Structure 1
Amino acid sequence: MNYPQLNLDEENGPLAIIKTNYGDIEIRLFPEQAPMAVENFTKLAEVGYYDQINFHRVIKDFMIQSGDPTDTGAGGESIWNQPFDDEFSDDLYNFRGALSMANAGPNTNGSQFFIVQNKHLADNLIEPMKKSKFASEVIDAYKNNGGTPWLDFRHTVFGQTIKGIDVVDKIADVEVDNNDRPVSEVLINKIEIYK
């Protein structure tokens, strides 16, 4: 197995810098494992689709979600103007700092994405992971770094935070209402793509 998230020094895929009003989050993208998700995200970013969009759903010890220009949590379209298929890879996992597609069920990807923020893997998840198809390196990475393994093979992972995880944590700490919506704006000013 290749686990590019565990060998980021050796990866040279495109970079995305999500510039927020809380600071910058720098993410390495994985076009080899998730070509459609990366193409969709980079092309939307390049035309300014994500500019001035809020993180509309923030759940501390879980994830921060954005990418919906309607700001409702129900909007957003892919570059193909229709949902696109999931791209699951045995190489990519929802480790802390992973960039993943948000969806409304299988093969419903549009423009929404989330960044995994959870710092700690609950001990009661380790045995089921061992019984499932998780490799020991993957389980160790979850134990050491945190993440959301219950989202694996349900949400397409297509990037990994390499700088700015502290910004992800700051956003996760904001005050939210009963719908997990931040009380004050958490805004994406722009997403810059470097290929």
Structure 2
Amino acid sequence: MGNILHIDSSPRGDRSNSRKLAKEFIAAWQEQHPDDVISYRDLRQTPVPHVTEDWIVACFTPPEALTSEMTELLKFSDELVDEFLAADRCVFSVPMYNFSIPSNFKGYIDQVIRVGRTFTEEDGQVKGLANGKKVLFITSRGVEYGAGSPYEGWDCQEPALRYAFQFMGVTDIEFIHANGLDMGDEVRKRALDKAQSEIQELVNSW
């Protein structure tokens, strides 16, 4: 029995393409793995606070030296980290906003990259602690970013996500991109069909 963490980050509700695609993935996965436990979090409903100077101080304070105020500051972060570390697989739906990721998912990343929890430093080298899990990002994008596109090289989304989770020790990272959703009905349909096909392939092999 596996433990799947599913997080949606789009501010949109039913209009969100990334949410719809992630929902399709989870439904297809559950058909094949009915005993797996799905933990779900919607960042639209439970916004993630930005870090503050006091939070940073608490974050880098040894556990035995934490005050009650510091412990309270880290409470939500600890909840997110515990949830992340408990999962065997993570499915994150993340739309592209202005060539990168929504601020709420950046806030999530800032809350889960925690010294002593998801990474540590040994002899001046960073070592990730979130090893052995699989992470899937399902994204939605308004335009194309591949070779020959006017926006080639503008994709700051996939590198940011990949490096943040690699920093925490995750090496098995997959992306399913729905590209060009604002480029007309034909391109949109082709992009969604491709993403749905990739979803089914990954469900069968992940």
Where on the TM-score scale, by shorter chain, does this alignment land: which range?
under 0.3
TM-score (norm 1): 0.25
Higher relative contact order (CA 8 A, sep 6+): 1
Give the number of the structure whose alpha-carbon radius of gyration is greater: 2
Considering fraction of residues, name the structure with more helix. 2
TM-score (norm 2): 0.24
